[in-house]
Amino acid sequence: MESYFDLCFGVAINLLAFFELRTFGELEPFFGTPLDITCSVIVIIYALLLVLFPLYGFVAIWKNQGKLDKKEEYRTLEPFLEGLKLNHFHSSMYNVYFLARRFFTGFGLVMLNAYPYFQCSFLMIFSLVNFVYTAAERPFLDPKTYYIELLNEFSILL
């Protein structure tokens, strides 16, 4: 899950280059050689997967809510559910929320590169929301993980 942020950041940087193009003629550096084409196609595929992966997790957990304690459903969704309480919808959605936060943070930092005030503001808002969510929901099975996550978010807020 941690590498998801790196992928978001890298894809956002590459997509920013696409978005800054004014004409189709400027696409030539991205699709001029076979290597450029390969890299550009990989970026586009990653961009799609970065959106689809958390959406898949959200829909799958939502549809299987109440059945997540069964081995077959849990095994299918284990990357999203490992170490989480499954008795409450928002607890089981912790990793989906985590991925969404990483996605918006990665893309926000890149797209708002000329506005550091807004970058910092969004990071603080995300940390505050996650701190409140973690404190109120207590989504982790292990109390140690719960306190580590609270300490992590609190240290970011300082």
Positive/negative CA dihedral, 58, 64, 66, 67: negative
What is the model's pLDDT at position 141? Answer: 92
State the chain's mean pLDDT as an integer.
87
Contacts for 156 with CB less than 8 Å, ≥ 6 apart: 123, 124, 127
Q: In the block, which residue shows the tokens 């997967």?
A: 49
What is the model's pLDDT at position 10? Answer: 81
The closest alpha carbon to 80, from 52, 51, 45, 56, belongs to 56
pLDDT tens-digit series, residues 70-126? 878 788 888 889 889 988 899 999 999 998 998 898 888 888 888 999 999 998 999
Contacts for 14 with CB less than 8 Å, ≥ 6 apart: 40, 43
Mean pLDDT of 36-41: 86
pLDDT tens-digit series, residues 119-144? 999 989 999 999 999 999 999 999 99
What is the model's pLDDT at position 5? Answer: 75
CA distance 68 to 61: 8
- Residue 52 pLDDT > 80: yes
- What's the CA angle centered on 74, arms 70 and 77, to 5 degrees? 150
Tokens of 75: 């095994």
What is the model's pLDDT at position 1? Answer: 65
pTM of the model: 0.82
What is the model's pLDDT at position 67? Answer: 83
Mean pLDDT of 15-25: 76
